[in-house]
Amino acid sequence: MMLLVTSGVAPYLAQAESILDVGDTFIVPLLLKLAFVLGIFFVGPLVAGYLEHKAMGRMQHRRGPVEAGPFGTLQLVADGIKFIQKEDLIPSAADKWVFAMAPGVALVPAMLALLVIPFGPGVFALDLELGLFYVLAASSVSVLGVLMGGWSSANKFSLFGGLRAGGQLIAYELPLILAAIAVAVQAGTLSLVGIVEAQAEFMLFGTGINLWYVIPQLLGFGIFFVAALAELSRPPFDMPIGDSELVFGYMTEYSGIKYAMYMLTEYAGMVTMSALMVVLYLGGWQLLPGVPLPGCEAAGGLFDCGVTGTLLGVGVMLGKILLLVFVMVWLRVAYPRLREDQLQRIAWLVMVPLALLNLALVTIAKVVY
């Protein structure tokens, strides 16, 4: 790893070098990075969606999609094509510009958040020193699109959905950020690559085995996971959509490609949040605690890996992401929906105090040791 940090002056741009930084030109790495982020952004949700279809199907005595493509893998692509063909309806009473812009406003931040998340040894577009801050800031802009959609639809159900989403975001952003701060405190950096590196260096006392942050901060991980579910409006926190109460919440009036954009936002958010959880708590692309990736032993098991090591690292990372996505799907299958006031009560009376407690414990431990 090449650190550009010199004592005293903290640069705010790239720290670690990405393997996508090839050649001396400006344009080639840029295009490569764009392709990388867009590739993750469009393929990740498809994989997560396929996993959801199939896992839900199996849990519900169905088979899930089987017709489109081998084993139904292209079902979501077919859905996307169907959505593009549909009529793009705009209600006559809607605020047309806001209505049309809202899905985009929700979609773009989900894409921007992927910019700094490392997916393997050197496999990332950018390593911002403020990476964690940037991801959380970018992903919370998404709710603006939801609010806009809810407000501009000129539909009472949409309005309720949008307002619920707004309230939910305010309630759950706080424990989410407090839990993330605890990680930053323990790692001593906000850079996501730096956090993964810090997890490789956090040793179990007296041994050479490193611990991922999920072990010292199990409470924080739980809080982060629940808060992430709430922020993504995933069941059991899907009150903004609440199909049996609010028809389809803020998406009620949307059809065609705009609706597809909202759905893409949801699944991209699942991938982003899962990736973030893997980076913050589950050791990023590390195979197992204490086991360096094959091919990267020389460099401490994290960077400057060969082709095998890099591919394996990316595979491990994606595997962990899919595992978390699977847990989210599992919760959707198993649980009914909470009520909006119950959700707020849990957030303010349980999650925020627990997150503060977690932060205090981590800070004290950090100072003592």
* 57 backbone dihedrals φ, ψ, rounded to 5°: -55, -45
CB of 331 to other proteins, least distance (A): 10
- Which of these segments, 186-194, 293-301, 331-339, 352-360, binds other proteins (CB under 8 A)? 331-339
What number of chain residues touch other proteins (CB under 8 A)?
Answer: 29
State yes or no: residue 351 binds other proteins (CB under 8 A).
Answer: no
CA–centroid distance for 44 within its chain: 11
- Which of these segments, 33-41, 98-106, 143-151, 153-161, binds other proteins (CB under 8 A)? 153-161
Amino acid (1-letter code) at residue 275: A
Number of C-alpha atoms within 13 angstroms, CB side, residue 170?
9
CB of 335 to other proteins, least distance (A): 5
State yes or no: residue 60 binds other proteins (CB under 8 A).
Answer: yes
State yes or no: residue 170 binds other proteins (CB under 8 A).
Answer: no
Is 56 or 322 the residue whose CB approaches other proteins more closely?
56
CB of 49 to other proteins, least distance (A): 16
CA–centroid distance for 161 within its chain: 22
Collapsed DSSP state (helix, strand, coil) of residue 203:
strand
Q: How far apart are CA 344 and CA 349, in angstroms?
A: 8
Residue 280: CB atoms within 10 A of its CB come to 29
Q: How far apart are CA 286 and CA 207, in angstroms?
A: 18
Residue 212: CB atoms within 10 A of its CB come to 21
CB of 97 to other proteins, least distance (A): 25
State yes or no: residue 59 binds other proteins (CB under 8 A).
Answer: yes
State yes or no: residue 247 binds other proteins (CB under 8 A).
Answer: yes
Q: What is the DSSP letter of 349?
A: I
3-state helix/strand/coil string of 56-81:
HHHHCCCCCCCCCCHHHCCHHHHHHH
State yes or no: residue 338 binds other proteins (CB under 8 A).
Answer: yes
State yes or no: residue 238 binds other proteins (CB under 8 A).
Answer: yes
State yes or no: residue 52 binds other proteins (CB under 8 A).
Answer: no
Is 113 or 163 the residue whose CB approaches other proteins more closely?
163
CB of 368 to other proteins, least distance (A): 37
State yes or no: residue 63 binds other proteins (CB under 8 A).
Answer: no
Contact indicator for 50, 75 with CB cutoff of 8 Å: yes
CB of 236 to other proteins, least distance (A): 6
Q: How far apart are CA 369 and CA 355, in angstroms?
A: 21
Instruction: Give the residues lining the site for other proteins (CB under 8 A).
Output: 56, 59-62, 156-157, 160, 235-236, 238-239, 242-247, 332-342
